[in-house]
Amino acid sequence: MIRMKETKRTRSLITFFLSALIVLLTLWLLQRLLVPKYAADVVEGALVAEYYQEENKDFDVIFVGDCEVYENFSPVTLWEEYGIHSYIRGSAQQYIWQSYYLLEDTLRYHTPQVVIFNVQSMQFSQAQNEAYNRMTLEGMEWSGSKVKSILASMTEEEQFLDYVFPILRYHTRWSELTGDDVRYLFQSRPVSHNGYYMRVDVKPAENVPGGQILADYSFGERAWDYLERMVQLCQAHDIQLILIKAPSLYPYWYPEWEAQIEDFARERDLPYLNFLELTEETGIDYSTDTYDAGLHMNLSGAEKLSDYMGKILREEYGVPDRRGDPQLDRIWADNLAAYEAEQQAQYECYGMTPQQEGG
C-alpha cells in the first residue's frame, strides 16, 4: 500500500518536472526565435554583445559612446600603425549613463590604460527611444551594471521584466519572422571589427543644416552627474579619460555646448579633442570621407582619424606597442583578414574599385 502511494508520488513528480522541462525548453527556443538577430540589417544592435566573444579582452584603449565612436575609429588601423590593442564599446544612440555602465561592465574583465568618451550624448538626460535602449542594453551580459543601466534607461512605457524575458517584448514578431531568425537562432555572425562598423561608400557633405535655436543650451543635470561619475570611475582605476567630439557635422554641435565641455575639461584637467576643429590636422575631407553627407565617417575618414588618434595615444599617453605578442599577432592577423574581406565585399557591393578609396 505504502509502496503504491510512493510510486504514485514519484510518478507525479516525474510528470511535473518533465512538463516543466518541456515548458522551459520551448519557451527558451521561442524566445531565441523571436528576438531580433541584428545580423543582416540594423547590425548596430549586435555591437554590444560582440565584445564578450573577444578572446583577449586585455585592451589598452576602450572607446565608449554612440555612432560617433563606432563609425569613426578603426581599431585595425590602430593596431596596424601603432600596435595598439583597442576595442570600441559603442552602440546606436548610446546615452551617457549607458556609456558609464558599459564602462563599468568592461572593468569586470580588464582595466584599460585609456578610455575615450565622445561627448555628443551629453545632450540627453532622458532616454528618447525604446528601440535604441534595446540595442544598447540587450547585448550586455547580466551583471549589476546591466541592471542599473536598464533602470537608468527605461522610458515610461518600458518594463524591467521585458529585459529579463525578451519574449515578452518581442512576442508579436511571430508574424514577421524571416529566414535570418532561423539562421542565427543560436549563433550570430560577426558584424564589427573590434566594435567598428565599416562603411566604404561615399556621400559628400553638402548643405549641412545648421542647428535649430534651443531654449536652453545647458546640459542636463543627469548627464553631468554621469560624466562626473565616469571621471571618478576612471580615477579610481587609474585610467586616463580622454574626451572627444567626433567630426560629425550633424547632429549640430553648438558653441554653447563646446564651451561647457571645454570648461569642464579644464576644471578636471582632462584632455579634450574636438575633431570638428582639427580637420586640417587629421586631414578629414568632407567630400570623400563620409558616407552619409557628414553624419558619420566612412572607412577612409575613420582610418584618418585613427591614425591621428593613435599618434596621440602613443606619444602623449604612452600606450604600448604590443606587436610581437604571439597571441595578439594571431588574433589581429585574423581581424585584419576579416577587415580586408569585408572591405572587398563592400567595394563590390557599391560598385567601387579599391583605387577609389579616399578618392
Partner 1 sequence: MLFTSYEFLGFLVVLFILYYALPSRAQWPLLLAASYLFYGCADPSYLLYILATTGTTYGAARFIQKNADRQRAYLKAHKQALSREEQQAYKARQKAIRRRWLVGGLLIGLGNLAVVKYTNFVISNLNGILSALGQGEPLSFVTLAMPMGISFYTFQAVGYLVDVYRGTVTAEKNPFRVALFLAFFPQLVQGPISRYGELSQTLYAPHPFSARRVARGLQRMLWGYFKKLVIADRLLPAILVLTGDSAAYSGAYVLVGMFFYTVNLYADFTGGIDITIGIAEAMGITLPENFHRPYFSKSLKEYWRRWHMTMSFWFRDYVFYPVSTSSFMWKLTKFCRSRLGSQVGRRVPVYLSSFLVWLATGVWHGASWNFIVWGLGNFAILMISEELEPLYARFHRRFYVDGALWYKVFQVGRTFLLVSALKLFDCYACVGETFRAFGSIFTAGNWHIFWDGSLLGLGLTLTDYGVLAASTLLVVCVSLAQRAGSVRDAIHSRPYPVRFALWYALFLAVLLMGAYGIGYDASQFIYNRF
Cα 254 to Cα 213: distance, rounded to the nearest angstrom: 10
C-alpha cell at 43: 547590425
Measured in residues, the chain has a length of: 359
What does the DSSP assignment read for 135-192?
HHHTTSPSSHHHHHHHHHH--TT--THHHHSHHHHHGGGGGG--HHHHHTSS-----S
Q: Per CB under 8 A, does 161 bind partner 1?
A: yes
Query: Of 71-79, 151-159, 191-199, 337-345, which part binds partner 1 (CB under 8 A)?
Result: 151-159
Interacting span for partner 1 (CB under 8 A) from 101-109, 166-174, 271-279, 346-354? 166-174
Per rule CB under 8 A, is residue 129 in the interface with partner 1? no
Taking the C-alpha atoms of residue 159 and residue 161, their distance in angstroms, rounded to an integer, is 5
Return the range that interacts with partner 1 (CB under 8 A); candidates 48-56, 91-99, 153-161, 190-198: 153-161
The CB-of-34 to partner 1 minimum distance in angstroms stands at 8
Instruction: With residue 31 as reference, give the H or E element that holds it.
Output: helix 2-34
Q: Binding residue for partner 1 (CB under 8 A) from 50, 66, 162, 181?
A: 162
Pick 130 or 307: Cβ nearer partner 1? 130
Which x/- pattern over 2-41 shows residues binding partner 1 (rule: CB under 8 A)?
Answer: -------------x---x--xx------x-----------
Cell of 6: 510512493
Cell triple for 53:
566573444
Q: Which residue, 22 or 349, has its beta carbon nearer to partner 1?
A: 22
The correct pick among 171, 237, 266, 311 for binding partner 1 (CB under 8 A) is 171
Phi, psi of 272 (to 5 degrees): -135, 125
Q: Least Å distance between CB 27 and partner 1?
A: 8
Considering beta carbons, is residue 11 or 311 the nearer one to partner 1? Answer: 11
Q: What is the dihedral of CA 175, 177, 178, 179, to 10 degrees?
A: -130
Q: Which of 165/350 has CB closer to partner 1?
A: 165
Residue with grid cell 508520488, as numbered in its chain: 9
Q: Which is nearer to partner 1, 92 or 200 (CB)?
A: 92
Among 54, 58, 130, 307, binds partner 1 (CB under 8 A): 130
- Grid look-up 574626451 returns 243
Residue 151 in contact with partner 1, rule: CB under 8 A = no
Whether omega for the bond prior to residue 255 falls within 30 degrees of 0, making it cis, is: no
In angstroms, the CA 194 to CA 54 distance is 8
Residue at 303: amino acid letter: E
- Residues 82/313, Cβ–Cβ less than 8 Å: yes
Give whichever of 26 and 218 is closer to partner 1, judged by the CB atom. 26
Q: Which is nearer to partner 1, 175 or 353 (CB)?
A: 175
Query: Which parts of this chain interact with partner 1 (CB under 8 A)?
Result: 15, 19, 22-23, 30, 130, 157-159, 161-162, 167-169, 171-172, 174-175
